[in-house]
Chain A
Amino acid sequence: MMPISPAQSWAIILVVAATTAAIRFLPFWVFHSSTPRVILYLGKVLPGAVMAMLVVYCLKDLDPLAADHGLPQILGVAMVALLHKWKHNTLLSIAGGTVFYMMLIQTLFAG
């Protein structure tokens, strides 16, 4: 079962698609000669800040008072960080951390 209607789904998908395309096309439309310095500045500093925000977003439902104390997520993130430090291989870190997390919640923390 889809969580929302197909029409609502299309609306969200098209908004995300149009916004993404607009960002990609904008420089070619308006910045022919020079790019405003504030835009260049934001382009440099936003990615790091936004990625931090997205990590927080992913962990937003983590509840230290829940039955599992949020341990599966905390351990999963630790595993991702360890794998990253070890091999610096993006796919290995993502796959390894995810499988580790899945094993945790399907076995140790099941139910």
Chain B
Amino acid sequence: MRKKTVRYAFRASLPVMAGYLVLGMGFGVLLQGQGYGWWWAAAMSLLIYAGSMQYLAVDLLAGGAGLITAALMTLVVNFRHLFYGVTMLEPYRGMGKAKPYVIFALTDETFSLVCQPDLPQGVDRKEYYFWLSLMNQSYWILGSVAGTLLGSALGEYTRGIEFSMTALFVVIFLGQWEGTRDHRPALIGLGVSVLFLLLLGPDGFLIPSMGGITLALLALKRFPVRKEGE
């Protein structure tokens, strides 16, 4: 039974494997570009294990960011994970010893696979959750370590690779835009951060933006989307 479960989890994880190896490599190349060796990439992918945030963490390291900035940035960037946890409260009940790990490893991609598993006969649901989470993180660690090695091999040719972070966020932004009808939150995010960027400049606009966005969104809560036929 375990063998069947592991094999099934592996097959389910294949699309994530492709994504995590490539995105992990992008992160590794970036980190290496700042002078960090492969063990730093391994440690970050092992301890943080959050894609977008690790790209941003390279920036935080490069700029020697303050710890409060680092914490606030992580809070707003990863806030959506709260939502995943709320969804998985029931399914992860009774996970036993593996529970802390599957909660820790609940990334966007893993969530997309565990939130509605359609498991065949003979596949153990809890084992499936555990193995899938573990495999996905292995791909991520592997990719990021490979990225640091690739980065040091390519040297000068990696100039401009930092744009992969911009590209990543643009793609996620477009995907979210297309996936929602209410574009006001996205426009608030755009408007508030551009405003603070123009007012305060590139070095000081981030924290005020995070505060401003949160306040604006809370104000927006009073104006729910009207439910009507389109």
Contact = CB atoms under 8 A, between A and B. Distances in A.
Interface of A: 1-4, 8-9, 11-17, 19-21, 23-28, 31-32, 35, 38-61, 72-73, 76-77, 80-81, 84, 90-91, 93-95, 97-98, 101-102, 104-106
B159 A106 contact: yes
Contacts of A11: 67
Given A53-B213, A57-B193, A101-B160, A40 B171 contact: no
A53 to B, nearest CB: 4
A105 B197 CA distance: 25
Contact of B189 (A32, A53, A61): A53
Nearest to B220: A45
Nearest to A84: B174
Given A51-B172, A52-B173, A105 B217 contact: no
B135 interface: no
Given A40-B83, A48-B183, A91-B18, 7 more contacts: A14-B47, A17-B47, A41-B217, A48-B176, A48-B177, A49-B185, A52-B189
Contacts, number: 253
B170 A80 contact: yes
Interface string B159-199: 11101111111111111110010010111111011100100
The 10 closest A-B pairs by CB, nearest first: A49-B189, A27-B85, A52-B189, A102-B160, A43-B83, A19-B74, A58-B166, A60-B202, A45-B185, A101-B163
A1 B35 CA distance: 5
B86 A35 contact: yes
Contacts of B168: 94
Contact of A2 (B36, B171, B213): B36
B163 A97 contact: yes
A53 B62 contact: no
A55 B160 CA distance: 16
Q: Is the interface of A mostly helix, strand, loop or mixed?
A: helix
Interface stretch (B1-9, B48-56, B116-124): B48-56
B10 interface: no
Contact of B22 (A41, A95, A101): A95
Given A27-B85, A52-B186, A73 B166 contact: yes
A45 B171 contact: no
Contacts of B160: 72, 98, 101-102, 104-106
Contacts of B153: none
Given A51-B176, A91-B19, A23 B194 contact: no
B60 A94 contact: no
19 contacts: A3-B63, A3-B64, A16-B54, A25-B104, A26-B82, A27-B85, A28-B103, A35-B86, A46-B80, A48-B186, A52-B193, A56-B193, A81-B174, A84-B175, A91-B23, A97-B163, A98-B26, A106-B157, A106-B160
